[in-house]
A and B are shown apart, each in its own frame.
Chain A
Amino acid sequence: MPEPSLLAGFIAPLEVHTNPQSLLWMFPLLLSIAIIYKATKLRVLFWKRFIREVVVLFITISLFMIAVGVGLNVLVWYLTG
């Protein structure tokens, strides 16, 4: 019996190349982390405030990760160049 296509997606890996674009997979994960952190941290959860705080945290973590990536890249370039 042929397997349904949706389930087939879960039994074979997607094609993810080892290129700089693959680092973009980091951002959905950072969003999840920001959402869960704020969902557990906020004392009272109002939608508008929650969304605002999640966006601010997501941008902060993203900028930090980009800065770390650039910093490490420069370090490797300096050490091996």
Chain B
Amino acid sequence: MKPRSPTENAFFMVTVGLLAWAIPGAGHFLIGERRRAIIIFVTIALTFATGLYVGSIGVIDPVNARPWYIAQIMASPLVGVLANVTRSGQYAVYGRAADVGQIYTSIAGMLNLLCILSAVYMAYQGRGEVIGTEEDEHA
């Protein structure tokens, strides 16, 4: 395979990073780490959905809980869409359920940030092209 130029490589890493943010696991999928991508997508989506189910979508609160929101939006830009829905404050959120929901959704966001960094680093190293194939052969 023809090696990429530095400009192409930078563009590829940015694409991997943005895709990993847009859909958890998509960055790894793009670099050929399909198994990792599935694990990441399922785990982060389930963690985030559990948080919303326990605390209600009201736990996404960009106005009164901004630091939590910054962590939550790391899970996906779609959280911003949800924030527009909840901005009016019409969704009930209270008590221990709100704490659990906020912690689950924020940790899901932070875990996705770890995955974004991991995907970009793997893209930088060109690892997915080699190791992704290696994993498929030993599946």
| Residues of chain A whose beta carbon lies under 8 Å from any beta carbon of chain B | 9-18, 22, 25, 28-29, 32-33, 35-37, 39-40, 43-47, 50
A29 touches B104 (CB 8 A): yes
A-binding segment of B2-10, B64-72, B87-95: B87-95
| Chain B count of residues within 8 A CB distance of the other chain | 40
Max chain A C-beta neighbours (<10 A), residue from B91, B100, B103, B138: B100
A58 to B66 alpha-carbon distance, docked (Å): 30
| Residue among A13, A36, A44 making CB contact with B134, cutoff 8 Å | A44
> Nearest Cβ distance between residue A17 and chain B, in whole angstroms?
7
A29 to B106 alpha-carbon distance, docked (Å): 11
Max chain A C-beta neighbours (<10 A), residue from B55, B94, B139: B55
A13 touches B108 (CB 8 A): no
14 new A-B contacts at CB < 8 Å, known A22-B96, A28-B50, A29-B103: A9-B53, A10-B53, A10-B57, A13-B56, A13-B94, A17-B96, A25-B100, A32-B46, A37-B114, A39-B43, A40-B115, A44-B135, A46-B138, A50-B39
A-B Cβ contacts below 8 A, count: 89
**Interface of chain A, main secondary structure:** helix
| Residue among A16, A32, A39 making CB contact with B97, cutoff 8 Å | A16
B96 touches A39 (CB 8 A): no
Q: Which residues of B contact A15 (CB under 8 A)?
A: 97
